[in-house]
Amino acid sequence: MNVEMSDTVSAWQMRIHEAQASGTPLRIRGAGTKDFYGTCVGDVLDTRAHTGIVSYEPTELVVTVRAGTPWAELVRALDERQQCLPFEPPFVAQGATVGGVVNAGLTGAARLYVGGIRDYVLGAHLLNAQGELLKLGGQVMKNVAGYDLSRLLVGSRGTLGLMTQVSLKVLPQPKAVLTLRLSCDFRSAQVLCRRFLVKPIAVTGSAWLNGVLTVRLAGMAAAVSAGVVMLDGWAYECVGGSFARVDEAEAVAFWGALQEQSLPYFSARPSDEHALWRAVLPTAVDGLTVHADTGLAMWGGALRWLWAVEDLSMPFKAAGGHATCYRTPLSGRVYPTALAASNEQRVQAALKMQFDPKHIFNRHRFDTVTHAGHATVEMHHVP
């Protein structure tokens, strides 16, 4: 991956040098689709002028793209070659950029089955707090003999530096896709979904909401057909029923709304005192023993979206997971950081000192601060 020194990158270097000299923080921002995801202060450094695909080798399954490029533009380029990045980041329809997707680290329903963003990052270019352009990783599947620093950028929310471009591993699009639905309670859905993780079945997404489990199968046509038979057998064992096929257009609309977080559940606030929590548990943990409410569940029940009036951070942490206050109550309550003494925060602080000791980039991004009706209490977790 050639180190690129465009006029835009040179201008960014000058701004970083000036910020270092004056101690002025810089707020790295793309389309702003995730402005709510933590708060930061400083002069905006807009990445959207730095766009375009640097290189794309379909036969090598690798694409290198500038950080300000809209994710939708990258998707269109991959579609032309029947390839994809399958982890389904949110807010693509709203203009989310490549840099924003990687730095936020948020993924959709497919994450548990196809891997997260970190699994697809091969290398990146990063402007550090001294304005130096660093080359991290490379452009091939196996390119690092030591620590793979490029993957540290995933979920860092721009606190470690200004990413200028990134190389990503891509996959062929599946030949067949089918969505099925089954009426069942949350416990039965979680038991059923656990089988996906230990059996050879072509599941690439699951979501449970309002007593209905929706499952997506994708892959070769024969694998999808075999998956339907397996799912029906398991459904009969668990709930005495069978899955129903979902119309293709309805299925595309459902998974798209789930990815974009535009399902009514995400805005159906029960009261002004309720906050929306994003909670993640180990797949082996029974979610209802941690929190009795069911909410919207993904990743076989490992990821749950819950409206609650109480602080959910401690019970999920005690169960081996974590919970993030994704949308604060309209009443204005701000939840304290439950991770103040955690290993995650200590690691995050140590990384920040190495990459940006003066906290020039995205200052306060991981603090618990109210911003436009939102707040976050999550540190740099694996998304």
The β-bridge partners of 216 are: 179, 205
Q: What residue ranges define each of the domains in the chain, with the CATH number in brackets?
A: 7-172+346-355 (3.30.465.10), 176-260 (3.30.70), 264-335 (no CATH)
pLDDT of residue 315: 93
Measured distance CA(179)–CA(205) in Å, rounded: 9
What is the pLDDT confidence band of residue 3, given thresholds at 50, 70 and 90?
Answer: low
Residue 278: its H or E element: strand 275-280
Confidence class of residue 336 from pLDDT cuts 50, 70 and 90?
low
Structure tokens, 75: 């998707």
What is residue 123's predicted lDDT score, i.e. its pLDDT? 93
Question: Which residues on adjacent β-strands are paired with residue 161?
Answer: none
pLDDT of 379 reads: 36
Does the pLDDT value for residue 214 go beyond 80? Answer: yes
C-beta neighbour count of 49 within 10 angstroms? 12
3-state secondary structure of 267: coil
Residue 214 to residue 76: CA distance in whole angstroms: 26
On whether the CB atoms of residues 124 and 166 are closer than 8 A, the answer is yes
CA angle 263, 381, 294 (to 5 degrees): 40
Under the banding of pLDDT at 50, 70 and 90, the label for residue 125 is very high
Residue-wise pLDDT for 129-168, tens only, equals 999 999 988 765 555 555 678 888 998 888 899 999 999 9
CA distance 224 to 246: 14
For residue 142, the model assigns a pLDDT of 53
Q: Is the pLDDT of residue 381 over 50?
A: no
What is the pairing mode between strands 303-308 and 296-298?
antiparallel
Average pLDDT over residues 178-196: 94
d(CA 359, CA 129): 8
Segment 294-313 mean pLDDT: 93
State the residue for tokens 């998304």.
383
The mean per-residue pLDDT over the stretch 284-308 comes to 93
**What is the mean pLDDT of the segment spanning 280-289?**
92
Which of 184-188, 261-265, 323-327 shows the lowest mean pLDDT across its residues? 323-327
pLDDT in tens, 244-262: 999 999 999 999 999 999 9
Average pLDDT, the chain: 87
Angle between helix 221-239 and 186-198 (nearest 10): 140
Output 192 or 35, whichever has higher pLDDT. Answer: 192
